[in-house]
Structure 1
Amino acid sequence: MNTPLHVLIIGYVWPEPNSSAAGYRMLQLIQSFRKSEWKVSFATPAQPTEHMTDLSTHQVTCHSIQVNDDTFNQFIADANADIVVFDRFMMEEQFGWRVEKHSPNSLRALNTEDLHSLREARHNAIKQNSTFNIEDMHSDIGIREIAAIHRSDLTLMVSEHECKILQEHFHVPASHVMHLPFMTHSLSEEEKALRPSFENRQHLIWIGNFRHAPNWDAVLQLKQTFWPAIRKKLKENGLSDVELHIYGAYPPPKATQLHNEKERFLIKGWAENVTDVMQNAKLCVAPIRFGAGIKGKLYDAMLCGTPSITSPIGAESMHGSLPWNGIITSDIEEFASATASLYQDQESWNLMQKNGDRIIEEKYEINHWEPSLIKRLKLQLSLKEPLRNAHFLGKMMRHHSMKSTQYMSQWITLKNNPTND
């Protein structure tokens, strides 16, 4: 019998699967490793949070670690991990050189969640009222992120579009990238039948962590532009009682101040159970102007049988060539008309729901993706040294980038502990 592998995850934050798509993704990875009976450890320099999941219920050993602290060196050496997963490029930057030096046999995998530099570049284009160009990713954060990807033995990407960007524009070898979207079991016909029907649903829903910049921007877009246009169309169709419910973790005062019962724009805040609120809504509205990765809210909407109206950025890399489970548009009037029309057209609504079910079945089925993940990690582990030697750009990045990071970290460590020899 083979000895179970040991996976050590170095987390940017403690996972909050009910707060963000990133937390949901991390829990899926942990569950996949545990299903393979691998030992899983989770270490993070982050502070505990109100909505963090209890990893002990998944038989995960947890550790608190510090940045710029030499105690990590002994920790990683003692961990003897077969695979180290960095959660986002900032963790690879901070701890990657220490893992390479003190645990050189560990496979170094990077879980990006999404391309931060792509999200930032699109955000900047919005702020500057300009058109996004791929060269806009050649920023400080872009250089840092792409360097971390080149230094890693394998990078897990939720978005096919972003895999293409990495390979075609940033010359990351296909051998070092894996497309791995969210994973779920397709619903049986019996499970689908248990979802509330068209007649038993009401109101519109938006959901998203308020700390995530694309989410806050979308809420403002709804409040200032889209909801007034949607409400006007709804009133014209005798639907003046329809409300827009805004859910999301960590709403700041500037968000709660947008609550307006007269306008039927309701800030609901934290959703204890996303499935309950999503599957009782008739439509999900998501006018997302910038971002990256795949959108957890739209994925949840499909699982809950809730058609969605969203933008091209919102639907990016989520459905391939399959028809969307709603309408894709950035035009305000078209968005408003589609929302009002779909809200009352049961035949079209049922069709869109079926489109969502098909997307889940063909793009996110866990019985396809989970074995592929485990197989790829094992293969990557067995070919670790040949692949490292073949990827000259990665070796060069580690030689130069990691030395500068190492020396800076060592300087900070010395500054923080002046009594050390």
Structure 2
Amino acid sequence: PAGHLRDTYHLGDDRQLDLPDLRFDETQKKLMYVGFLGWEPNAQGLLWFIEAVWPQLLERHPDLVFEIVGKGADQRLQSAVAAHAGIRLRGFVEDLQEIYRESRVSVAPLLFGSGMKVKVLDAMARGMPTVTTSVGAEGIAAESGRHLMVADDARIMADQVLDLLDNSALWNRLQSESRALVQARYTWRRLFDNMHRELRLALDRHRGVASPDSMDGLRHAG
């Protein structure tokens, strides 16, 4: 049979890596979310977060703000936002840098949906500490507690967000490690190199040609 590709490739913006590091002491008690709100997995995840997680956060920080960036919010989401203090629907925002600089935590509360989540990688590339679900972290070689935070339970997610709001050491670790991971594994240059290698290996397998990689393995095995 013909060879097949084993990796997935994303369309993230690794220009975020060229921007200066965010600083904990320059942020506000503000959460951010970025995504197309007309996509049902995004809408459902936000509705769950607003109903199940947000009230727990307000108990600790009554002045906390949550800015939701993206177009396509339907009546369900607009009504949920209107019913809860501190949440703002920003609509489409051309330049996210001011929101990145002011926000302390990015959230991506996806409950279903497949594929690598570009907005999670974008936030990590910017060095924005991110709390997501196992669905949101799918396809990203990240370790929870080091590169981002992962939780599928509302109580645990609330605790993780609160830790990042209050713990500058944890915040700084995720800020640094998330950028380092994207730099090491998810830049366009790295991804194109990986894609070129996979395509070459698949073509060689199809032709029945031993690739340099497989020949190296045979030499070392001998």
TM-score, normalised by the number of residues in structure 2: 0.78
The one of 140, 163, 180 aligned to 1:358: 180
The one of 26, 50, 53 aligned to 1:226: 53
Between 1 and 2, higher relative CO (CA 8 Å, sep ≥ 6) is seen in: 2
Aligned-partner residue type, residue 365 of structure 1: T
User: The residue matched to 1:180 in structure 2 has which SS?
Assistant: coil
Could you say which residue in structure 2 is the equivalent of 1:211?
A: 38
Could you say which residue in structure 2 is the equivalent of 1:313?
A: 135
Aligned-partner residue type, residue 180 of structure 1: T
Matches within 5 A, 1:18-417: 175-182=3-10, 184=14, 187=17, 191=19, 194-202=20-28, 203-232=30-59, 234=60, 239-260=61-82, 263-320=85-142, 324-374=146-196, 376-377=198-199
Aligned-partner residue type, residue 137 of structure 2: A
The 8 Å contact of residues 21 and 126 in structure 2, kept in 1 or not, is answered as yes
The 8 Å contact of residues 68 and 90 in structure 2, kept in 1 or not, is answered as yes
The 8 Å contact of residues 309 and 339 in structure 1, kept in 2 or not, is answered as yes
Change (3 A) 1:229 1:342: same
User: The residue matched to 1:204 in structure 2 has which SS?
Assistant: strand
**How many residue pairs get matched?**
205
Change (3 A) 1:185 1:300: closer
Tell me the distance in 1 between the aligned counterparts of 2:106 and 2:194.
31
Percentage of pairs with the same residue: 21
User: The residue matched to 2:181 in structure 1 has which SS?
Assistant: helix
What is the CA RMSD across the aligned residues, in angstroms?
2.8
The 8 Å contact of residues 2 and 205 in structure 2, kept in 1 or not, is answered as no
Aligned-partner residue type, residue 169 of structure 2: E
Q: 1:276 Cα shift? A: 3.7
Aligned-partner residue type, residue 214 of structure 1: P
Aligned-partner residue type, residue 187 of structure 1: L
Tell me the distance in 1 between the aligned counterparts of 2:153 and 2:98.
30
Q: 1:227 Cα shift? A: 0.8
Aligned-partner residue type, residue 229 of structure 1: Q
User: The residue matched to 2:82 in structure 1 has which SS?
Assistant: coil
Instruction: Tell me the alpha carbon deviations over residues 327-371 of structure 1, each in whole angstroms, 9 at most, x when there is no partner.
Output: 211121121122112102111110111120122122203222213
Unmatched runs of 5 consecutive residues or more in structure 1:
1-172, 388-421
The 8 Å contact of residues 226 and 336 in structure 1, kept in 2 or not, is answered as yes
Change (3 A) 1:354 1:262: same
Change (3 A) 1:318 1:275: farther
Tell me the distance in 1 between the aligned counterparts of 2:206 and 2:150.
45
Instruction: Tell me the alpha carbon deviations over residues 76-124 of structure 1, each in whole angstroms, 9 at most, x when there is no partner.
Output: xxxxxxxxxxxxxxxxxxxxxxxxxxxxxxxxxxxxxxxxxxxxxxxxx
Change (3 A) 1:308 1:174: farther
Q: 1:375 Cα shift? A: 5.5
Tell me the distance in 2 between the aligned counterparts of 1:279 and 1:384.
48
The 8 Å contact of residues 247 and 267 in structure 1, kept in 2 or not, is answered as yes
Change (3 A) 1:372 1:256: same
Q: 1:379 Cα shift? A: 7.0
| Displacement over 6 Å in runs of 4+ | 382-385
User: The residue matched to 1:246 in structure 2 has which SS?
Assistant: strand
Aligned-partner residue type, residue 154 of structure 2: I
